[in-house]
Amino acid sequence: MERMKGGVTAAHGFEAAGTEANIKYQGRMDMALIYSSAPCTVAGTFTTNVVKAAPVLWDKQIVENSPYAQAVVVNAGIANACTGKQGMDYCAKEAKKAAALLNIPENAVLVGSTGVIGKQLPMDRICAGIEKLAAAKDGSIEAGTTASKAIMTTDTINKEIAVTIELDGKTVTVGGMSKGSGMIHPNMCTMLAYITTDAAISKKMLQEALSTSVVDTFNMISVDGDTSTNDTCLVLANGLAGNEEITAKGEAYDKFLEALNYVNTYLARTMAGDGEGATALFETVVYNADTKQNARTLAKSVICSSLTKAAIYGHDANWGRILCALGYSGVQFDPENVTLYFESKAGKLKIYENGLDVGYSEEEATKILSEPEVTVLVDMNMGDETATAWGCDLTYDYVKINADYRS
C-alpha cells in the first residue's frame, strides 16, 4: 500500500468541485459535489441517533434500494434536520436538480448536510450552487481538495487522504474526505465522510468492509460526547480499476479492507485532533485486555472523560481521572493489576502500577503532556486484546464556539 496525494478524485473516474452558495457562511465555500463518470456500487453507515436528519433518511433509501449511485451533493451551514416533510422534499429537489445537470437518474444522487439544526435549506441558493458545481467539476487532485474544504463548518483544516494497492495486477485507489469538529461521538457511523474507490467490489462485500472498518476507526473517536443527527459515511466504488470483482472474503478483500481501514483511521484521527477549540490530539491505547470489546469500551471511556480531557489541556498528570474513567466504563477488572503510562514525542513515563503512584517526575510528565499529540497507555494485564481511541483536550474555546454556534 502506498500513500498518494489527493482525496476523493484520486481514484479513476471521479470528479469533484466546491463553490460558495452563501447558505450560512459569507465569503467562503459551502457546497461540494462528488461525481463518478461510471455508476457506483454504494455502501453506507449512518447515525444511530433516533432524531435523523432528512439527508440521512434520503441516503439510507438510496443505499438500500437504488441499483447504483453516481453523485453526492453536500452543503455546509444548515443541517436540514428536524425539518419535517419539507426537509425530505428539499432532498428530492436537490437530487432532481443534480440529476438533470449531470444526466443521471434522481435515485443515483446522494445528498449531505451539516450545520445548524431546525432551519430549512434556502433552495434557491442550493439550486444555484448545484449549477455552479456541475459546471466546475473536474478530476484534478485540486478539485478534490476544494471539495474537502467546502464541507467544513467549525473545522480548522480540511481532511483528505488517498492510497493505492495492487489487486490482480491492477492499481486500485481508495481516497476520501471528511468533516467533523464538534458534535462528534459516532456509533456505527461517522460525521460526514465520503470514500471513493475505483475497485470492482460487490455491494454485499463493500457494505461488509465499511461496517467492519467503522468499528475500530470512526466509532473510536469522540470530541464532546454528542452523537449528531446527520452522521453519514458513504463509500462509492465504480470498478474502473479493472480488477476482478471482489465477491467474497479472501486475499483481495483483505487488501481492500486494509486500505479502507488506513483511510478511515487517518480521517477519524484527524477529526479528533481538530475538535472544536482543541490544542492536542488525545489518544488512548488499551492493551492486554481480556476481550476486544472490553478494550474498546475502556479506551473510549478514557477519551470521553471531560475531567481527563481538561487535564490534558492543562498538561496535568492527573492519573486518578484516567483510572476513574476506566472504573465507570462497565468493564470489570482489578485496579491493582493496571499499569498506566503517558507518551508523546517528548518521551514515555510510567505513572501508576500495582495500585499506586510510582513516584514519577511531575516535570517530566508535564513535558510529555505539552506535546500536540498525547497518548495514554493502559496495560490491563488480563489478556492479549488491544484497542485505540482518539479524542482531544477540552478547552475554553470549545465553550466559546458552542455558546454562539447559530450566529
Q: So what's the pLDDT on residue 190?
A: 41
Q: Would you call 39 exposed, middle or buried from its count of C-beta atoms within 10 A (0-12, 13-18, 19+)?
A: middle
User: Which of 255, 273, 291 is the endpoint of a domain?
Assistant: 273
Question: What is the structure's pLDDT at 363?
Answer: 97
Q: Do 156 and 194 belong together in one domain?
A: yes
CATH number at residue 305: 3.10.20.340
- Indicate the pLDDT class of residue 188, thresholds 50, 70 and 90: very low
Same domain, 47 and 95: yes
Considering the domain architecture, whether residues 258 and 234 belong to the same structural domain is answered as yes
Averaged pLDDT for residues 171-196: 77
From 114, 106, 141, select the one nearest 11 (Cα to Cα): 141
Average pLDDT rounded to a whole number, residues 314-343: 97
Say which CATH number the domain at 192 has: 3.60.70.12
**What is the predicted pLDDT for the residue at 275?**
72
Q: Is 51 in the same domain as 84?
A: yes
Per-residue model confidence (pLDDT) at position 278: 80
Tell me the pLDDT of the chain averaged across its residues: 93
Could you tell me the residue range of the domain that residue 317 belongs to? 281-403
**Which range is least confidently modeled, 20-34, 249-263, 271-285?**
271-285
Residue 20 burial by CB count (10 A; 0-12/13-18/19+): exposed, middle or buried? middle
On whether both 331 and 266 belong to a single domain, the answer is no
pLDDT digits (tens, 9 = 90+) for 343-386: 999 999 999 999 999 999 999 999 999 999 999 999 999 999 99
pLDDT of 149: 96
How much is the average pLDDT of 293-322? Answer: 96
- If one compares 154 and 227, the residue with the highest pLDDT of the two is 154
The secondary structure of 242-253 as a DSSP string is: -PPPB-SSSHHH
What's the pTM value of the predicted model, to 2 decimals? 0.91
- Which of 114, 190, 375, 388 does the annotation list as catalytic? 190
If asked whether residues 242 and 312 sit together in one domain, one would say no
Question: Is residue 241 located within the same domain as residue 383?
Answer: no
Domain count across the chain: 2
pLDDT value of residue 180: 76
| Residue range 99-121, pLDDT digits in tens | 999 999 999 999 999 988 999 99
With cut-offs at 50, 70 and 90, classify the pLDDT of residue 181. low
Q: In DSSP terms, which residues pair with 4 in a beta bridge?
A: 162
Residue 179's contacts (CB-CB under 8 Å, 6 or more residues apart) are 76, 114, 148, 151, 152, 153, 155, 159, 191, 192, 271
Query: Has 190 been annotated as catalytic?
Result: yes
Q: Among 256, 273, 290, which residue terminates a domain?
A: 273
Is 356 in a helix, a strand, or coil? Answer: strand
Of 273, 290, 325, the position where a domain reaches its end is 273
CB atoms under 10 Å from CB of 124, counted, come to: 9
pLDDT at residue 79 tops 70:
yes
Are 292 and 389 in a shared domain?
yes
> Is 266 in the same domain as 331?
no
- Mean of the pLDDT values across residues 77-90? 95
Identify whether residues 285 and 255 lie together within a single domain. no
Question: How many contiguous H segments (helices) and E segments (strands) does the chain have?
Answer: 11, 15
Note the pLDDT of residue 367. Answer: 98
Is residue 16 within 8 Å of 8, Cβ to Cβ?
Answer: yes
Give the mean pLDDT of 260-266. 97
Secondary structure of 138-173 in HEC code, one letter for each residue: ECCHHHHHHHHHHCCCCCCCCEEEEEEEEECCEEEE
Residues 173, 265, single domain; the answer is yes
Same domain for 230 and 150: yes
